[in-house]
Amino acid sequence: MAKISSIQDLQEAAKAKLSKGVYDYYSYGAMDMITVADNSNAYNRYQIRPRVLRDVSKIDTGVEVFGKKYAYPIFVAATALQKLADVEGEVASARATTKNNLVYSLSSISTSSIEEVADGVSTPNLWFQLSVFKDKHYNLSLIRRAEKAGYKAILVTVDMPYSGRRLPEFRQPLTVPEHLTLKNLTSLGSKEGSSEYNKDSVYKRVVDNINSAFTWEDLKWLKQQTKLPMLAKGILNPRDAELVVLNGLDGIIVSNHGGRQLDGVSSTIDALPNIVDAVGGKIPVFVDGGIRRGTDVFKALAFGAQAVFVGRPNLYGLAYGGQKGVELMLNLLFKEFELAMALAGCSSLKDINRSYIQQTPQLTCKL
Ligand SMILES: Cc1cc2nc3c(=O)[nH]c(=O)nc-3n(C[C@H](O)[C@H](O)[C@H](O)COP(=O)(O)O)c2cc1C
Ligand SMILES: CC(C)CC(=O)C(=O)O
């Protein structure tokens, strides 16, 4: 294969390496995958309006989040089951990400434990993604473990009262090889006194234990149980964004779970501006979904995102080359983003704002 020069190349290289079952699990979304496609395609509905003759000889991509400075506004989203892609799984992803001074989010549904990932990195830029289970003591114990291991924030996933219908898994439930375990959840849903469970039903066991009765009241209570910043991950509606603020949370991730939950919802870049407006700067707003190019990052920031998260690109990098593959993925995005900034005439993130983008006009003039 020719030199990997884009996230698209990396996806193709990962597809060639992974089994069909694992590739489908990673890349698929819900039902007809309209939202998966739209997450990426929607970026093409916006154009950049570059400014010229500005000094862009130095580009500062640094961003501050919750009082800490990171190298780029490009963070890594929580994705489950990373040892399906690489023997080191989440530890390799976390090393690649934190080594570059970015945030790595660890999924609750990981094949490396909260503690293993914390021990495996030298810079603990780690956020923990909490899937909310029926047993609230279980949820609290996960938060306590993350606090103790030095994680810096909790992301509560709010868009998954049930798992969306992903057709390959609906046809053939995902099986996880015998040697892999859900390291954070070994006793989830097990009968008292036993941590045994049927390996074939790992995925089902997670889904069966998700709390589909979780409400704003419960989220408010959860927020009061920790001093760590807590963010709601999976907001698409500005009314909900206002409720996140009202309930005292510290941040929002505009997300449709990479199109894996409800198909036919708004793409995240289309949802972002109204949410940024509803929040009115009270708490930071982040976005994930379909971000595959440096120009996508630029557009998200222009609409008011503090930083973006990438999910599948991490998995593709990991499958392609372990830690080095994730570093390659990040470096592609870094370079593309720096060039986008420079060619748009922005030398620091504070220069990027809505005046730099417009909706792609519908052609109305006669040619
Ligand atoms: C294979 C896979 C597993 C995921 N697992 C989780 C998870 O455990 N928890 C969660 O909150 N989101 C999960 N997500 C959603 C991501 O955090 C993120 O919202 C999404 O991947 C962003 O879209 P992108 O993949 O197009 O970048 C998962 C996504 C994928 C593709
Ligand atoms: C346990 C799974 C439902 C995790 C996952 O695939 C997801 O969150 O998208």
pLDDT recorded at residue 190: 65
Alpha helix stretches (DSSP H) within 7-159: 7-17, 20-27, 34-41, 89-99, 114-120, 136-148
Tens of pLDDT, residues 19-37: 999 999 999 999 999 999 9
**Ligand 2: distance of its center to the CA of 5 in Å?**
29
Pocket test for ligand 1, best of 39, 79, 82, 112 (most atoms within 8 A of CB): 79
**Distance (Å, whole) CA 151 – CA 183:** 17
Q: At 275, phi and psi to the nearest 5?
A: -75, -45
Residues in contact with ligand 1 by the CB-under-6-Å rule are 25-26, 39, 77-80, 107, 109, 129, 131, 157, 233, 255, 257-258, 260, 288-291, 310-312
pLDDT recorded at residue 365: 76
Low-confidence ranges of the chain (pLDDT < 70): 1, 190-201
8 A C-beta contact, residue 48 and residue 344: yes
**Ligand 2: distance of its center to the CA of 125 in Å?**
23
- Active-site residues, by number, are 257
Beta-carbon-side half-sphere exposure of residue 235 (alpha carbons within 13 Å): 31
**Distance (Å, whole) CA 339 – CA 56:** 10
Look at the pTM and tell me if it is higher than 0.95: yes
CA diameter of the chain:
75
pLDDT recorded at residue 332: 98
Domains of the chain: 7-47+62-188+201-345 (3.20.20.70)
Residues in contact with ligand 2 by the CB-under-6-Å rule are 80, 109, 163, 203, 206-207, 257, 260
